[in-house]
Amino acid sequence: MSFQDKSIQCSDCGTGFTFTAREQEFFASKGFANEPRRCPQCRKSKRQQRRGPSGSWSSYANKAMLSTEYQKI
Tell me what percent of the residues of the chain surpass a pLDDT of 70: 70
Cα–Cα dist 16/24, whole Å: 16
Closest Cα to residue 18, out of 27, 9, 26, 30? 9
Identify the three-state secondary structure at position 20. coil
Cα–Cα dist 10/26, whole Å: 19
* Per-residue confidence band for 39, with pLDDT thresholds at 50, 70 and 90: very high
* Per-residue confidence band for 72, with pLDDT thresholds at 50, 70 and 90: low
- Look at residue 17 and tell me whether its pLDDT is greater than 70: yes
Question: What pLDDT is stored for residue 50 in this prediction?
Answer: 87
- H-run or E-run covering 21: helix 21-30
Structure-model confidence comparison of residues 36 and 59, the more confident one:
36
Closest Cα to residue 23, out of 3, 41, 48? 3
